[in-house]
Amino acid sequence: MKLCIIGSGYVGLVSGACFAEVGHNVICVDNDQRKVDKLLAGEIPIYEPGLEDLVHKNVAARRLHFTTSTGEGVDGSEVVFIAVPTPPQPDGSVDLSYIEKVAREIAAVLKAGEYRVIVDKSTVPVKTGEKVAETIRRYNKTGASFDVVSNPEFLREGCAVPDLMKPDRIVIGGNSERAIALMQKIYEPFMAPVLVTDINSAELIKHAANSFLALKISYINAVAQICEASGADVEKVADGIGADRRIGRNFLNAGMGYGGSCFPKDIAAFIAISDQLGVPFTLLKEVQRINAAQRERLLVKIREKLWVLRDKRIAVWGLTFKPDTDDVRSSVAVDLVRDLLAGNAVVSVYDPKGMEKAKEFQLVEGARFAESALDAAKDAEALVIATEWKEFAAVDLSELKAVMHTPLIFDGRNLLDPQTARSLGFEYSSVGRA
């Protein structure tokens, strides 16, 4: 099929590459000429395992194309996906101006006698599909035929390619049998269960799913506090809870809390949506509170041990919000570095993939960017593990101890084995493990 994806960011680029991989002809549209030029030159603007090879392969096969022209994209496509940013506003609600702008651009190029399916792929509040349809009808002067569909994405950064190629489920929300049939045809090669709903239900599924996962994270972090107070081990507790098939072990990992471009934004948006609908979602406000408290609890531990932060040499391993990505947006690790810098600590940071983005956006001004994990830890009076990269777990702890001034570790992600660290002479503190 011929598909257009407007927005070549994280969701748009991954989706485009994967759709092309299964045989569709895809044109990705982006209004950033520099980004399009880089993509045409073979440069990938984000790090995602497997994505670069997939893009290069399908560009070479002429199944994946890039342009800045919405008209070019919409003209030759049966289905048009909207995958533009939906950033948060100060009150937690979603800024839908990019969605509205794209809807108007699509309306301007739709022609009479042709039919298009317009797909909301961006994460949007419930009832956005209705507004997109209303906007296209208002600004299209040709009486073009179209339907709007909601098709939320469930991609995890660091696993996005396998998540799309082998999805748990595909959600299609629409009120038109013709549009739904075309969407089912698109996803037929993926051999995954398809859930067909109305548009509003599909839009709610995305926010409800992410909020529930964040709730699991905050729940186990709250349990971790009880474990620390009682001398219990949160990992053993999580194993016991997760063995129940009704619950599952995923997302029951205690740590510094969730971050990234999705969970904080989506939870704030779901709270704002529920408030607007007159059904306040107070449970999610507590999820936010617990999450914010986790980083502060770790900072309190560091302050208690070091007494004064000023001039203390502290190494921080990790800047991205999770491993296997270069995404530093709303990263708890970045926030922690800022906390330490605000306390006038001397901070050295290292991240396998996130340092270029951190430098580009000037997120941790005043920190030293190290060349390796051991370089960051050189002469450090304390080490904080802020992102659970496998590279950090594989570091030789004997070498680490040799380069540090003081063998003191604050493991904010429970990455290391406590007994091993302590047997080598480290003073070791983690989350919820006695």
Print burial letters for 383-404: b (CB count within 10 Å at least 16), e (below 16). bbbbbbbebbeebebeebbeeb
What local confidence, expressed as pLDDT, does residue 76 receive? 87
Identify whether residues 153 and 11 lie together within a single domain.
yes
**319-349: pLDDT as tens digits:** 999 999 999 999 999 999 999 999 999 999 9
Backbone φ and ψ for 103, nearest 5 degrees, come out as -60, -40
Q: Choose the final residue of a domain: 197, 223, 244.
A: 197
16, HSE (Cβ side, Cα atoms, 13 Å): 35
Q: Are residues 314 and 192 in the same domain?
A: no
pLDDT over threshold 80, residue 434: no
Residue 190 sits in the same domain as residue 339: no
CB 315 within 8 A of CB 383: yes
- Residue 127 forms part of a structural domain: yes
User: Average of pLDDT values for 145-166?
Assistant: 96
Distance CA 316, CA 337 (A): 7
pLDDT above 90 as % of the chain? 99
Domain boundary among 197, 224, 247: 197
- Are 182 and 311 in a shared domain? no
**Sequence letter at residue 335:** D
197, 212, 236 - which closes a domain: 197
Range of the domain at 354: 294-429
Q: Evaluate if residue 166 carries a pLDDT over 80.
A: yes
Is residue 246 assigned to a domain? no
Same domain, 35 and 184: yes
Looking at the fold, whether 161 and 56 belong to one and the same domain comes out as yes
Residue 265 lies in a domain: no
- Residues labelled catalytic: 262
- Whether 368 maps to a domain, the answer reads yes
- Using the predicted structure, report yes or no on whether residue 142 has a pLDDT greater than 80: yes
* 273 occurs within a structural domain: no
Q: Please indicate, yes or no, whether residues 166 and 314 belong to a single structural domain of this protein.
A: no
Residues 191 and 299 in one domain: no
Q: Which amino acid is at 312?
A: K
Across 252-283, b (16+ Cβ under 10 Å) vs e yields bbbbbbbbbbbbbbbbbbbbbbbeeeeeebee
Predicted confidence at residue 200, as pLDDT, reads: 96
pLDDT value of residue 232: 97
Is the residue at 361 inside a domain?
A: yes
| CA–CA separation, 186 and 64 (whole Å) | 15
DSSP-assigned states of every residue in 202-219: HHHHHHHHHHHHHHHHHH
Q: What is the pTM of this model?
A: 0.93
In a domain, 284, yes or no: no
Number of domains in the chain: 2
**For the residues 2-16, what does the mean pLDDT come to?**
97
What CATH number has the domain bearing residue 422?
Answer: 3.40.50.720
Q: Given this model, what pLDDT does residue 383 score?
A: 98
Are 91 and 276 in contact by the 8 Å Cβ rule? The answer is: no
Whether residue 131 has pLDDT greater than 80 = yes
| pLDDT value at 235 more than 80 | yes
Q: What is the pLDDT of residues 372-402, one digit of tens each?
A: 999 999 999 999 999 999 999 999 999 999 9
Residues 302 and 409 in one domain: yes
3-state percent breakdown (helix, strand, coil) of the chain, nearest 5:
45, 15, 40
Q: How confident is the model at residue 225 (pLDDT cuts 50, 70, 90)?
A: very high
Are 151 and 81 in contact by the 8 Å Cβ rule? The answer is: yes
Residue 393 belongs to a domain: yes
Q: Is the pLDDT of residue 137 over 80?
A: yes
Q: Are 46 and 158 contained in the same domain?
A: yes
Res 175: pLDDT: 93
Enter the DSSP assignment of 416: S
Assess contact for 189 and 1: CB atoms under 8 A. no
Average pLDDT, the chain: 97
Give the residue among 26, 59, 19 at the shortest CA–CA distance from 186: 19
